[in-house]
Amino acid sequence: MKSIKAATYYVHFKHKGYKELNSLLIKKDYSSIFILVDDNSLELCYPVFIPLLETDKRIEIIEIESGEINKNLDTCGGVWNALTELSADRNSLLITLGGGVITDLGGFVASTYKRGIDFVNIPTTLLSMVDASVGGKTGVDLGVLKNQIGLFANPQIVLIDGNYLATLNERESRSGIAEIIKYGLTYDVKLLDLIKNFNSLNINELIHRSIEIKNEIVLQDPKENGLRKVLNFGHTLGHAIESYFLESKNKKNLTHGEAIAIGMVCESYLSHKVLQLSKEKVMIVKNMIDVMYEKVVIDVSDYDPIFDLLKHDKKNSNGQVNFVLLNDFEDFKLDCKISNELLIESIEFYNS
Ligand code: GLY
């Protein structure tokens, strides 16, 4: 698969990726190599990865606990301490091997440790392949507020190897598909047909096209001053729902994809109400998501706490919540404002 050129780095695929990573190790002559993993990627991905790494430099593993709940400053503190105790210096390399928590947190830790060391992203989940590992966003959550602390920093290389997806369970795979649906609805509707016929044969094509789209957007607007906001379609309500379910003891945790799938149904409904998205197209989105994801019940008593969380959304300006909505598939409008009454209607539509 053809490598994709991002701002200061390349996204490489499969064998080419390992070849380029090994060349990077020679070129940069790193003093030591640290591999950040969680319990899952250590067990399932590390044994696949390590024989492919060609180096005689010292390699150390740093393991954190898996799960969004651990994507916080306490975990960063643990990793910074481990790097210090293991004598990582400014010429060390951190390789992140794992899902979105590992690549987001690892990129943040690397770019702040001793004012910044190099890092390489090797995403092992569909979600992190098509979104988190590309585009330079790094960071962690602050309490329930997602990605509240972080910075833009680019890896040296992103290495995509679809073989790691074999280690995922069904629910994790579906989580990543939600981001691909987002690219389909906002940028390239042909992706929706590919998703309907999603199988192990077309997954590499879906990943490649998704990264191409994300990269095209990020190249034009790396710091999210305008166009990049389109990547937040479904995420305004989706993030608030995800945070609310994460903090509520009596709710099961949703995956990121499950939450933004709900967000995309609600925000498609809003697009019909305030822009020109047709009812037929809203139903295409709802039916697709109803088929793909287990239904989540959002009770009336959940509405207010979810709307409270919306107030903390990073995309807000002057206290106003901003939504990305659709005039049509592949035709979006940024910075739309929505009344509370319509927000309630949109969740009722999702529940229906
Ligand atoms: N995940 C959204 C972005 O990278 O901008």
Indicate the SS3 state at residue 18: helix
Atom of ligand 1 nearest to the CA of 228: 5
Tell me the pLDDT of the chain averaged across its residues. 94
Whose CA is closest to atom 5 on ligand 1? Answer: 231
The answer to whether residue 137 is catalytic is: yes
What average pLDDT score do residues 66-81 get? 96
Alpha helices, DSSP H, located in 221-312: 235-247, 256-274, 279-292, 300-310
Burial of 81 (0-12, 13-18, 19+ CB in 10 A): exposed
- Give CA–CA dist 346/267, Å, rounded: 7
Structure tokens at 232: 């937040």
The answer to whether residue 12 is catalytic is: no
Per residue in 254-305, pLDDT (tens digit) is 999 999 999 999 999 999 999 999 999 999 999 999 999 999 999 999 999 9
Indicate if ligand 1 lies below 6 Å from the C-beta of 146.
no
239, 263 contact by CB (below 8 A): yes
Q: Where are the beta strands (DSSP E) in the chain?
A: 4-5, 10-13, 32-38, 58-64, 93-98, 118-123, 137-142, 145-152, 157-160, 323-328, 331-336
Predicted TM-score (pTM) of the model is: 0.93
Per residue in 87-134, pLDDT (tens digit) is 999 999 999 999 999 999 999 999 999 999 999 999 999 999 999 889
The active-site residue out of 71, 137, 146, 272 is 137
Structure tokens at 211: 């990264």
pLDDT score at 313:
67
**Among 216, 228, 256, which is best to mutate for testing ligand 1, by the most ligand atoms less than 8 A from CB?**
228
**Percentage of the chain exceeding pLDDT 90:** 84
